[in-house]
Structure 1
């Protein structure tokens, strides 16, 4: 009943503009709609950010797109027990949804089925076996994990990635509670990044056979256990992988943290951690946009039809960053310009123009001399940093050689050749004079022999 009331109330969010650049339409897959009551604080947070949330159970048909157009902007899979996709949906459609620019959040549990496990493999993420949990006999909550030590306490200051553009450590007020399954990411995939990992004493083991003696070592332990990981595809679509659905529930949002061995009770950081994670995943922050690109010769203000080799030119690019529902000037010291013709001929770091109160964009500029090589060049800014959408600005220009009348009349480096040519001319003149007028005397007679 509460789920249906929630659906009608969340529909009112359509009257406001969602903070996400991608859009407000969010599909949430649940094993049953009754489970929606456990996530009321999550729905409230998303409603305040003007999302249009559609709760859907896996037993009912649903489609992610129609006529090659996305029906939703974001997909949250909170149904780890799912055995089959809803009718009209498949792993291929989820991958296509990401390829079309949709954002996805996947949360698992110790009862994670093969459906979600195989889907995660499409993105180089491997969840542990079914009925395994992350256990820790030193860093567990004495209330939630009293029996199996499976509700572990994670300190974000030491076990969270220093990725300020994704989740800043100062945004999480306390330790994070986690109860679920471990996963590992492919280290060779540069698009994947673990955000939260387990303490050194943690390990992954079957939570249903804790009383039996172990006959082998755990497959994952310590920092090798990823609890939360994120991925940004090459088209800037974002995917988040969580090993726990419980860390999104009201019970973990509001639970006081009582870590084993600590007498002091602390506040759970789950709510703000999940809020920052969903903001990044749904592109409410960390998005860059190219506002303007300009290039011209030094002393001029308009882009020429073409340049000439060795011209001095100025290149300027303006970037803006989206967060807190608004565009702000982007600031960085590592934006580079490349002049490419098959290979880069010049690579130079751009200087940022100082910002003031009137600045609406971050402006980066540089002045350089074009290479002594003519052809079709690309002025490229390829900026890819963790947590930010990828920027690839390409401007194609032609660089011409000198015309025949633009070369200098005399070249100082050619003086030896000039001297050689002059000496040859003088030598020819001397030889001609000697040959014509410096021969035998005409008065001398020659006699023939008989």
Structure 2
């Protein structure tokens, strides 16, 4: 069996470049190489997408980097029973791997050990207590979960995040089967996004015998149970957290879904995992700024600086990577900010119509610069779940008017102009009346008696 897996991994390693922008090299950690036989369809899917997969058991030494250079581009952890990392690896090495731009997929089971629990806590993800299982006595598979009600059926139409960049709903052919452990995410961490969650009737409990009475209340239940969550770090590295390693197995990929009261349906696990791994390994949802321009209206050249209250046109071109190619990015909420310590202007950009041969989406706006001189940053800071972050900063100087560019008369001074003019007119009238107003200035004589 080990020889077969080794030859399979060797054949995959001979494949050329993968569609991932991160790279084609994947390291898979398993509790035992024999466990890899349960994921044959997963390896075939990755091979079809031109990945080089290295299967490795935790008892053998390995390393994620050498001389500060990554040896692998992506890491899949399917070793929930792992008590300690392979020699040459530790929790800090995995965190450093993510900080260097590597992507990670971590799948747990009810037997998840403290080693991987501590790793998940580094990213604000908390798995439930050991040997706990997600149970649902209303939404379970009547074949795989008949006895324990631990194989639950998830309806993607109601329990899948409406984020097409991660897992588009229209590509999931049927319900999703899940058997595993629950986890929760820190709601204050904006980098974390729950992708799949349990129904309102589900709960997490350490007993998997439905005939036993519960000796305590479940620690997590209902929609608070996250089944699959993802995180995109600030450097755009991606991490996926799954509560079920069985979701990725051949058994769950091909098993028909038989929920009580519903017709038999096709399992959506294979397509769900395919779309999830595409996102995790950066095969889609990747944005890139192709060009940034700014100039005065009617001109094409970028000036060295602007003057206060000038009109300015700003244009940015953004491309999105998916389906092995770059495509024009389309959105209606891309904003431009003019910042000097604080934003002075924030305006939504208008998208240009897409041409037949367009490879980027072009957004622009025309605005009047503020009546404030200094060094400004023209910033587009676009962050949306499922998409890599766009941070484009252009530094531009805005100068005041020169002394001969100010208007000779300004409207704000009209009251002063009026008062000065009225004083002049009043003086002229007074002088005219005083000098020529008909007053008799000759000396008067009085008759003596």
1:383 and 1:390 in contact (8 A); partners too: yes
Question: Residue 208 of structure 1: CA displacement?
Answer: 5.4
Tell me the equivalent position of 2:10: 8
Q: Look up the match of 1:438.
A: none
Name the counterpart of 1:120: 120
1 CA distance for matches of 2:107 and 2:414? 77
Within a 5 Å distance, the mapping from 1:223-238 to structure 2 comes to 223-238=223-238
TM-score by length of 1: 0.92
CA-to-aligned-CA distance 1:45-70 (integer Å, 9 cap, x gap)? 00010111111111111111112211
Is 1:408 the equivalent of 2:410?
no
Question: 3-state SS of the aligned residue for 2:394?
Answer: strand
Aligned counterparts of 2:95 and 2:424: Cα–Cα separation in 1: 78
CA deviation map 1:120-165 (0-9, x unaligned) = 0111110011111111122111221122111111111111111111
Determine helix, strand or coil for the equivalent of 2:13.
Answer: helix
Determine whether 1:111 maps to 2:106: no
The answer to whether structure 1 residue 367 and structure 2 residue 361 are counterparts is no
Aligned-partner Cα distance in 1 for 2:171–2:209: 38
Count of residue pairs brought into register by the alignment: 433
Q: Would the aligned equivalents of 1:197 and 1:228 in 2 still touch at CA under 8 Å?
A: yes
Offset of residue 414 of structure 1: 1.8
Aligned counterparts of 1:116 and 1:333: Cα–Cα separation in 2 = 40
The answer to whether the 8 Å contact 2:133/2:205 transfers is: yes
1:14-33 to 2 correspondence within 5 Å? 16-33=16-33
Query: 1:188-207: per-residue Cα shift (whole Å, max 9, x none)?
Result: 11111111111221111113
- Deviation sequence 1:349-407 (CA, Å, 0-9, x none): 11000012121110001111101110000000010111100001000000000000111
Q: Does 1:278 align with 2:277?
A: yes
Tell whether the 8 Å contact from 1:331 to 1:352 is kept in structure 2 after alignment: yes
Bigger drift between 143-152 and 96-105 goes to: 143-152
In 2, Cα distance between the equivalents of 1:294 and 1:207?
Answer: 62
Counterparts of 2:194 and 2:290, CA distance in 1: 31
Specify every segment of 5 or more residues in structure 1 that has no aligned partner in the other structure, as ranges. 433-440, 442-450
1:158 equivalent in alignment to 2:142: no
Q: CA deviation at 1:247?
A: 0.6
Matches of 1:29 and 1:316, distance apart in 2: 46
Does the 8 A contact of 1:38 with 1:249 survive in 2?
yes
In 2, Cα distance between the equivalents of 1:352 and 1:281? Answer: 28
Would the aligned equivalents of 2:313 and 2:364 in 1 still touch at CA under 8 Å? yes
Which deviations, in whole Å up to 9, do the C-alpha atoms of 1:236-261 show, x marking residues without a partner?
11000000101100010011111123
Q: Provide the C-alpha distance between the structure 1 equivalents of 2:4 and 2:138, rounded to a whole number of angstroms.
A: 38
Q: C-alpha separation between the residues in 2 aligned to 1:318 and 1:287?
A: 14
Instruction: Give the 3-state SS of the residue equivalent to 2:116 in structure 1.
Output: helix
SS at match of 2:240: strand
Alignment of 1:308-319 (within 5 A): 308-319=307-318
- Report SS of the residue matched to 2:45: helix
TM-superposed CA distance for 1:417, in Å, is 2.3
Query: Considering only aligned residues, what root-mean-square deviation do their CA atoms show, in Å?
Result: 2.0
Structure 2: 5+ residue stretches without partners? 432-440, 442-449
Paired residues of 2:148 and 2:208 also in contact (CA < 8 A): no
Residue pair 1:2, 1:37 contacting (<8 A) in 2 also = no
With the length of structure 2 as denominator, give the TM-score of the two structures: 0.93
Q: Quote the residue 2:78 is aligned against.
A: 78
The Cα shift of 1:182 comes to 0.5
* Whole-angstrom CA distance in 2 between matches of 1:425 and 1:402: 32
Q: What SS class does the counterpart of residue 346 from structure 2 fall into?
A: strand
- Separation in structure 1 between the aligned mates of residue 150 and residue 415 of structure 2, nearest angstrom: 85
In 2: Cα distance, 1:143 partner to 1:423 partner: 99
Equivalent-residue separation in structure 1 for 2:81 and 2:114 (angstroms): 9
Structure-2 separation of matches of 1:139 and 1:114? 30
> How far is the alpha carbon of 1:422 from its aligned partner?
5.6
Q: In 1, distance between residues paired with 2:330 and 2:426?
A: 69
Report deviation, 1:215. Answer: 2.1
SS of equivalent residue, structure 2 residue 229: strand
Map 1:221-370 onto structure 2 (within 5 A): 221-262=221-262, 264-370=263-369
